[in-house]
Amino acid sequence: MTPTIPFIKEKFDEYNRMMFDGKLPDIPIRLSNAKGFLGMCCFKKKRNGLMGKVVNYDFVLRINTRFDLPQEIVEDTIIHEMIHYYIASNQLKDTSAHGRMFRTMMNGINARFGRHIAISHKPTETQKQQAREGRRSWHVVAVVTFTDGRTGVKVLPRIVERITYYYNNVLSAKDVSAIQLYMSNDTFFNQFPNSSALKVSICEEETLKSHLADAERMECDGKRIIRNR
């Protein structure tokens, strides 16, 4: 699921009543598209007076929407950050970012409410890959037709010299009958390596046609790329 601000707010209020005795103040909620975290409780620090106590203030709860996660993991992420918020907003001192106090609260919530909150909740490599696969970006797609009837696909860098290099070299191969170039933002093409290496991935012609239905065709004269607008 992709969390929304109303969903996060609803869960924050629910867990505040259930797990924190309603003692957590309301907090601004922001959505994030960052790569490195699922959630984060952000705040600033200031010192009261020259030798005064350092206090935490200006809290913000950030929840990531870059990754498509099961709802349970999103909820555990919210609770994880609420523990941080409880400790920091009450100006409590822990032994580390996930020290004894954090672990005691986390373990208590897990045991009492059947949650699966963990110390680390950074995105896994699988989750990062899913995010990459779901993100739309523009690709130069070369469709290679072989003399034996097979069809291949190659995603190329958006650099004219590298496109023409690939086009000229592959088209000169004896077993290649044609190359057609397209500009597409279909997420299907995210799975293919982006390079000008003289390689091709064999793919069903009908599959390629379905994913190139809205693509923009381009022409290459061996030196230039001409977009058919």
Q: Are 61 and 41 in contact (CB under 8 A)?
A: yes
- Using one digit for the tens of pLDDT, what is the confidence trace for 15-74? 999 999 999 999 999 998 877 788 999 999 988 766 678 899 999 999 988 877 778 889
Segment among 15-24, 168-177, 212-221 with least mean pLDDT:
212-221
Looking only at the bridges linking them, the beta strands covering 216-220 and 225-227 are antiparallel
The model's pTM is: 0.56
Segment among 6-20, 36-50, 113-127 with least mean pLDDT:
113-127
- Using one digit for the tens of pLDDT, what is the confidence trace for 79-90? 999 999 999 999
pLDDT of residue 25: 96
pLDDT of residue 31: 92
- Using one digit for the tens of pLDDT, what is the confidence trace for 198-207? 889 998 888 8
Domains and CATH numbers, the chain: 5-130 (3.30.2010.10), 136-227 (no CATH)
Query: What separation, in Å, do the N-terminal and C-terminal C-alpha atoms of the chain show?
Result: 37
pLDDT of residue 163: 92
**What is the spatial distance between Cα 126 and Cα 147, in angstroms, rounded to a whole number?**
38
128 has pLDDT over 60: no
pLDDT of residue 119: 84
Task: Please give the backbone phi and psi of residue 198, each rounded to the nearest 5 degrees, phi first.
Answer: -80, 65
Q: Are 58 and 105 in contact (CB under 8 A)?
A: no
Q: Are 73 and 95 in contact (CB under 8 A)?
A: no
Ordered DSSP codes for 172-187: TSTTEEEEEEEEE--G
